């Protein structure tokens, strides 16, 4: 079976600063993959190289069998991306933004279904600028799903969402996964990583310090809770303590 995303020995530096080094990732169709690590560990750089918005120094990337540098147009028909921040026209409403997004793609999902699924149907006529942080976050996920992508990139999935909204998002994503969607996500919340991810890669200063399942991550650490294991791999705890 062809992998959805195949990354081999990916490396990139910025003016001599190594951002990622020899990163390998293999994501099968229908898998939810978590790319984890502390701030500055190299997650965004890895994702941007996979999407072709940044050029790696060395290594190879294949996504849906395509090269992100040369097959850019075709790739973006089949890939959904959740943007964290975006500037939209001042008074554009949720419905209008969904329609504009829909019009960019040959085949698109019915955005009303997605608004309903993510609890925003009653906001269709509201200006995007008047949404709460959590509502905006959910809208960005919807925009990523409008192209009916085969694979979706979700960056800091539920940052800013309240407890109920987070669980609703998890449920919706689990449903989409059951329908075969492949998901690559980043998150700083280990509870959601545990619920959603089939496989994870933990980066530390640009290098892979763990690659495998949640159960394997726990088993290869001195801890029996995933969050403790994650902090041990990523050294976030050490850093926090240094700041006290």
Ligand X SMILES: Nc1ncnc2c1ncn2[C@@H]1O[C@H](COP(=O)(O)OP(=O)(O)OP(=O)(O)O)[C@@H](O)[C@H]1O
Residue numbers of the site for ligand X (CB under 6 A)?
14, 17, 19, 37, 39-45
Min dist. Cβ of residue 51 to ligand X (A): 13
Nearer to ligand X, 4 or 45 (CB): 45
Min dist. Cβ of residue 235 to ligand X (A): 13
* Distance separating alpha carbons of residues 235 and 229, to the nearest angstrom: 10
* Distance separating alpha carbons of residues 137 and 129, to the nearest angstrom: 12
* Distance separating alpha carbons of residues 211 and 82, to the nearest angstrom: 24
Nearer to ligand X, 113 or 191 (CB): 191
* Distance separating alpha carbons of residues 142 and 190, to the nearest angstrom: 23
Nearer to ligand X, 38 or 176 (CB): 38
Nearer to ligand X, 23 or 152 (CB): 23
Min dist. Cβ of residue 193 to ligand X (A): 14
Min dist. Cβ of residue 207 to ligand X (A): 11
CB 176 within 8 A of CB 145: yes
> What order of strands is seen across the sheet that includes strand 58-63?
17-27, 5-14, 58-63
| Helix/strand/coil for 155 | coil
């Amino acid at each position: 079976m062809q992998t959805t995303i195949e990354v081999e020995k990916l490396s990139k530096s910025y003016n001599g600063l190594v951002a990622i080094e020899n990163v390998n990732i293999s994501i099968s169709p229908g898998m939810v993959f978590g790319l984890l690590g502390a701030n500055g560990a190299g997650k965004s750089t890895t994702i941007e190289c996979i999407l072709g918005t940044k050029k790696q120094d060395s290594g190879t990337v294949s996504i849906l069998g395509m090269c992100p540098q040369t097959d850019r147009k075709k790739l973006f028909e089949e890939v959904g991306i959740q943007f964290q921040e975006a500037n939209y026209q001042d008074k554009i409403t949720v419905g209008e933004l969904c329609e504009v997004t829909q019009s960019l793609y040959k085949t698109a999902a019915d955005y009303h279904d997605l608004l309903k699924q993510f609890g925003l149907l009653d906001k269709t006529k509201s200006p995007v600028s008047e949404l709460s942080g959590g509502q905006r976050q959910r809208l960005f996920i919807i925009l990523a799903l409008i192209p009916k992508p085969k694979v979706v990139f979700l960056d800091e999935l539920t940052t800013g969402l309240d407890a109920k909204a987070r669980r609703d998002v998890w449920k919706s994503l689990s449903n989409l996964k059951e329908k075969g969607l492949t998901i690559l996500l980043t998150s700083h919340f280990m509870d959601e990583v545990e619920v959603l991810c089939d496989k994870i890669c933990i980066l530390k200063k640009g290098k892979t310090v763990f690659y495998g399942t949640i159960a394997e991550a726990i088993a290869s650490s001195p801890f029996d809770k995933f969050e403790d294991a994650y902090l041990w791999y990523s050294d976030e705890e050490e850093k926090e303590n240094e700041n006290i």
